Amino acid sequence: MNQIAKSFGTYFFDNVFLTPAEIDAGVVVPGAEYSFELWHSFTTPRQLAGITQTGSYGIELNGVTSGALASFESFDYKISLNQGGGLVDYTAAFDFGTGSSHSFRLTASMALVMPERIDWSTQPEMSIQYLTEVIESFDGTEQRIALRDTPRSSLSYMYSMTDEQQYRFDNKMSTSTGSMIVPLWPMQCQLSRVVSAGDTSVALETINAHVMASDTLLISEGDESEIVSVESVDDRVVTLTSMAKKTFSTNAVVIPARIAYPTDESNSTSLLRGFDQHSISYDLDETQIQKPAPVDDFARLNSRPIFPFRPDRSKDFTTQYNRRREMLDPLIGARSIYDRTKGTVKILEQTFTFLSEQERQRFEDFAEIMNGAQGEFYIEGPGQAFEFSEDIVVPTYKIRIKNSGYSNFANSSSLAPIVAIKLYNGTTIYRTILSATENPDGTETITTKESTNNLKTSDIETIVPLYLARFYSDEFRYIFDTTEVSTITKNIRQLLYADSAIDTESAITI
């Protein structure tokens, strides 16, 4: 009773509107830009007396600052952030002389840029870690559960600083807090054309998956660098969201950048009074993870991918044999040992060397498809399974082989139930072994699930066991010698419950 009714017009007419009136940008990079609009609903033009800015250090506001503003007309404003780091709490108050306040507010956390070049004499490392819980039973079977939605990535760099770089870098590390913008130096690409101030695109000689997945890049040449934001990528041309501010020659490199946090502890070694080396590790921000989408083009067998990477034979790789046993020691009398499974579990330690970033990225894609260490795949054993003792002329399921110990197939779960027969013409044939028996003449006969016809021993390069396996751990640590050459050492665990069924829809011959 006796209250004045309020309508839509009460709020709409004779008012000033800012859209949006407040932006919480979170973690931002230098050079980031944000826009908002101002308009009013007065029936006559209004006079803008001025704009009062607070917290405007390193911030530039572009737009109308004074004058008559027409009714129901939108006026665009753009804010550019150029400060070095720290918290951003910016307010722009628009004075129309009406006695009311009309303000725009921007809050953000500016990441500190780390454009310093790394020392390649110490190999940089990139680690991608998944979090997997392994539930294992007595017979060697296991179940793996992912406990992390996205993998945790980290970088380890060495910086060598001399003269004025030394104390500038030391003071920077001592006073910095919060997030940083860290380049992925091993993923750098070369410019194919000059970048001039005012350009809106960057052309590269080659491009990799990490550059294509980035929304922030660092252009670096000598001591000069600039952070740019990516709008789109087409082939090897990167379109920028804003114009470049500096000029770079074709000697400059373009590096994908990520928001990261330095680890709690970093080390510095002073070799001379004017020469320091800093070892720093960064943890990439998991809430703003940027990783390339995996490309799944791997051949499959039994609906599982076949591990296509060959180990580096210049590096030693080993096979560990783990026996599944239960021991009972009553402290008195004889000790009792019971085999829980027949045979042993093989753990293969192999080193893989990649001669290009494309090869390394393919390995990273495979690990991503396997969700680190959860997925199952087929891998070739390091040795040879057996040799044929005679040619096969007519279709047969029984193959006579030389004495290889495969006659123990039924007494062990560790022998590979599938073998890959590699021919000199590049063809690979997969055969599933059902049983193996020993012959009086010392040879052995294996019975396969698939029929084999017209196969000469002179055409066979080698016959290798094909194990069903998983990555033993879910950490993938890549060590870079150059931007192209990198290595990784992985332990791969054989699974004893290998499924011997052959999926006819999968790749039987490649």
Collapse the DSSP code of 464 into the 3-class scheme (helix H, G, I; strand E, B; otherwise coil) and give the result.
Answer: strand
What is the three-state SS of 199-244?
CCEEEECCCCHHHHCCCEEEEEECCEEEEEEEEEEECCEEEECCCC
Give CA torsion, residues 226, 227, 232, 237, to 10 deg: 30
Region label for 31, one of left (φ > 0), alpha (ψ between -120 and 50) or beta (otherwise): left
Whether the Cβ atoms of residue 304 and residue 376 lie closer than 8 Å to each other: yes
Whether the Cβ atoms of residue 247 and residue 197 lie closer than 8 Å to each other: yes
Q: How far apart are CA 351 and CA 317, in angstroms?
A: 7
265-279 burial, b if ≥16 CB within 10 A, otherwise e? eeeeeeeeeeebbbe
Pairing mode of beta strands 102-110, 86-95: antiparallel
Question: What's the pTM value of the predicted model, to 2 decimals?
Answer: 0.82
435's CB contacts (< 8 A; 6+ apart) are 409, 410, 446, 447
Q: What is the pLDDT along the chain (510 residues), one digit of tens a residue?
A: 455 545 555 567 778 888 898 988 877 877 788 899 988 888 888 888 888 888 878 788 888 888 888 888 889 999 888 766 667 888 988 888 766 678 899 888 878 888 889 999 999 999 998 887 777 766 666 777 777 778 889 999 999 888 777 778 888 877 777 788 899 999 999 999 999 988 889 999 999 999 999 988 999 998 888 888 888 998 899 999 888 888 999 999 999 999 898 887 777 777 777 788 888 899 998 888 788 889 999 999 888 999 999 999 888 888 888 887 777 776 766 677 777 777 788 899 999 999 999 999 999 999 999 888 888 999 998 888 888 988 888 989 998 999 888 888 888 888 888 999 999 998 899 999 889 899 898 898 999 988 888 999 999 999 999 999 999 888 999 999 999 999 999 999 988 876 667 664 554 544
